[in-house]
């Protein structure tokens, strides 16, 4: 009779699916101007740097909103909080498409979309905690990570192709329509809780947000993973941002740069799907994070020094596969290690650390050699990855009740 007190429901995949869709949409909206930086600057009559602010606004807006968004998720539930963020995303993405060639309006609408983003990203562990068994939660977070990366990949691939056949505002309006569809589906289909909890009695109970925040900031495992996430995501975002400038001195073309970025993201998508599944199967978090960092280093070395196209593409894929897989495993690791602190709070603080890693993107630009090469910052990145190996060796798997 005891085994009847909790169970998982097939409907959890519907909830996870619509949650993945809204996260995919917001990432597509974030990256959409990056692959058309030059044409967009010409269209709006501004500089390339000002076009860059359309994406950078997401990171900067996230920083002050991370804690309030986590509070809202834990106070009102993820359904209300994510719905609020999804509505902001949908409304302002459509308005951005209607803003025409007015750069100021496009930037203001980008900030509006960005305000909604923390309500989506900070619920990455909350949704699996409410609907999935303990042994499946890293896999569920991995699927959300996959959707996040797929949204970035679609933004990279679709935007340049679409802008060749239609005006930039029309492209943005199409993306706005997709985001509106994702918001409607989430609001209608998502549910806060199943009828009965998906875990043993007591495991679903979390402490209050403020008490949980105190517990989290006193947690050594939390701070260790913050270091890993901050540096890992900083390196990934830095390479994604400067990919064309990184490989151009070695004779590669912008098309090659786009293929490299796509290879890294596709690798990340597959890694976020496969490695967390293995982590759940073997009930190991620290081991798979350690393997992820160690195996990502050769890929980063290849991106830094390879001179043949096939090798640099393989290196980018390899690095993305292992580096990105660490994120969903680590988020669930922290949720387990800081139990009973609310998942929305721990996830929000981790995502905040990830957004702060934008500092490393600027460091990479500042370290460019006189001929414009990014080799010095890439060598620094390799060194930092080695440091992360030492950091992860200090992490221990928490004991989690699974039945």
Q: What angle do CA 223, 82, 341 make, to 5 degrees?
A: 35
Q: Is residue 399 reached through a cis peptide bond, with omega within 30 degrees of 0 on the bond before it?
A: no
Q: Residue 52 burial (CB < 10 Å; 0-12/13-18/19+)? A: middle
What does the pLDDT read at residue 207? 43
Is the four-CA dihedral 70, 72, 77, 81 of positive or negative sign?
negative
pLDDT at 196 over 80: no
Share of the chain above pLDDT 90, in %: 39
What does the pLDDT read at residue 187? 97
What does the pLDDT read at residue 107? 96
Q: How many CB atoms lie within 10 A of CB 39?
A: 16
More confident residue, 217 or 268: 268
Q: Assign 198 a pLDDT band (cuts: 50, 70, 90).
A: low
Following CA atoms 32, 33, 34, 40 in sequence, which dihedral angle do they give, to the nearest 10 degrees? 150
Question: Angle, to 10 degrees, between the axis of helix 220-241 and the axis of helix 343-356?
Answer: 40
What does the pLDDT read at residue 180? 97
Share of the chain above pLDDT 70, in %: 89
pLDDT at 3 over 50: no
Q: Is domain 220-337+357-394 in CATH 1.20.1250.20, yes or no?
A: yes
CA distances from 155 to 30, 61, 164, 262, 288 (A): 8, 20, 14, 10, 29
Average pLDDT over residues 60-65: 87
pLDDT tens, position by position, 352-396: 777 787 788 778 878 888 887 889 999 999 999 999 999 999 988
User: How many residues comprise the chain?
Assistant: 403
> Nearest Cα to 160, choosing from 258, 75, 244, 234?
258
pLDDT tens, position by position, 200-230: 555 554 444 455 566 777 788 889 998 999 9
Is the four-CA dihedral 345, 337, 196, 147 of positive or negative sign?
positive
What does the pLDDT read at residue 322? 94
What does the pLDDT read at residue 300? 96
Task: Tell me what the pLDDT averaged over the chain comes to.
Answer: 85
What does the pLDDT read at residue 189? 96
Rounded Cα distance between 359 and 366, Å, is 11
Q: Assign 139 a pLDDT band (cuts: 50, 70, 90).
A: confident
Average pLDDT over residues 261-269: 86
Rounded Cα distance between 217 and 352, Å, is 13
CB-hemisphere CA count at 13 Å for 145?
Answer: 35
What does the pLDDT read at residue 175? 96
What does the pLDDT read at residue 6? 62
More confident residue, 321 or 57: 321
pLDDT tens, position by position, 44-60: 999 877 887 888 888 88
Token duo for residue 376: 């010095």
What does the pLDDT read at residue 205? 44
More confident residue, 364 or 299: 299
What does the pLDDT read at residue 98? 95
Average pLDDT over residues 54-72: 86
Least confident of 8-12, 46-50, 134-138, 265-269: 134-138
Rounded Cα distance between 99 and 97, Å, is 6
pLDDT tens, position by position, 237-257: 888 777 777 887 888 876 677
Average pLDDT over residues 275-285: 86
pLDDT tens, position by position, 79-124: 999 999 999 999 999 999 999 999 999 999 999 999 999 999 888 8
Token duo for residue 36: 């058309």
Of the segments 173-177, 241-245, 321-325, which one has the largest average pLDDT value? Answer: 173-177
Question: Angle, to 10 degrees, between the axis of helix 220-241 and the axis of helix 286-305?
Answer: 20
Q: Assign 343 a pLDDT band (cuts: 50, 70, 90).
A: low
Domain with CATH 1.20.1250.20 in the chain: 1-205, 220-337+357-394
Average pLDDT over residues 15-24: 96
More confident residue, 156 or 6: 156
| DSSP type of residue 190 | -
Q: Assign 170 a pLDDT band (cuts: 50, 70, 90).
A: very high
User: What CATH number matches the domain at 1-205, 2.40.110.10, 2.60.120.1440, 1.20.1250.20, 3.40.50.1860?
Assistant: 1.20.1250.20
């Amino acid at each position: 009779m005891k085994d009847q007190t909790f169970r998982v429901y097939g409907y959890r995949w519907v909830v996870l699916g619509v949650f993945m869709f809204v996260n995919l949409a917001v990432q597509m909206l974030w990256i959409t101007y990056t692959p058309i930086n030059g044409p967009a600057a010409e269209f709006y009559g501004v500089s390339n740097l000002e076009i860059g602010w359309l994406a950078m606004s997401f990171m900067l807006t996230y920083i002050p909103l991370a804690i309030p968004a986590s509070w809202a998720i834990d106070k009102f539930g993820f359904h209300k909080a994510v719905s609020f963020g999804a509505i902001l995303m949908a409304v302002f993405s459509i308005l951005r498409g209607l803003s025409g060639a007015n750069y100021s309006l496009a930037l203001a609408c980008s900030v509006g979309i960005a305000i909604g983003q923390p309500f989506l990203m900070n619920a990455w562990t909350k949704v699996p905690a409410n609907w999935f068994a303990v042994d499946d939660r890293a896999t569920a977070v991995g699927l959300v990570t996959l959707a996040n990366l797929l949204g970035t990949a679609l933004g990279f691939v679709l935007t340049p192709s679409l802008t060749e056949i239609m005006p930039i505002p029309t492209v943005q309006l199409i993306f706005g329509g997709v985001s509106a569809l994702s918001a409607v589906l989430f609001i209608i289909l998502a549910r806060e809780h199943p009828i009965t909890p998906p875990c043993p009695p007591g495991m679903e109970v979390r402490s209050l947000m403020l008490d949980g925040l105190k517990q989290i900031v006193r947690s050594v495992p939390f701070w260790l993973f913050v270091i890993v996430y901050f540096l890992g995501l900083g390196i990934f975002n830095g390479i994604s941002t400067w990919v064309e400038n990184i490989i151009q001195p070695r004779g590669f073309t912008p098309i090659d740069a786009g293929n490299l970025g796509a290879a890294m993201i596709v690798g990340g998508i597959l890694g976020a799907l496969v490695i967390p599944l293995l982590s759940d199967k073997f009930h190991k978090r620290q081991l798979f994070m350690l393997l992820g960092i160690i195996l990502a280093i050769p890929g980063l070395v290849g991106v830094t020094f390879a001179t043949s196209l096939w090798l640099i593409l393989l290196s980018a894929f390899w690095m993305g596969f292992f580096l990105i897989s660490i994120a969903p495993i680590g988020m669930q690791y922290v949720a387990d290690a800081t139990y009973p602190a609310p998942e929305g709070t721990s996830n929000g603080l981790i995502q905040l650390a990830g957004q702060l890693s934008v500092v490393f993107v600027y460091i990479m630009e500042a370290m460019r050699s006189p001929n414009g090469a990014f080799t010095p910052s890439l060598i620094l990145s390799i060194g930092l990855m080695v440091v992360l190996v030492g950091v992860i060796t200090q992490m221990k798997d928490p004991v989690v009740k699974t039945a």
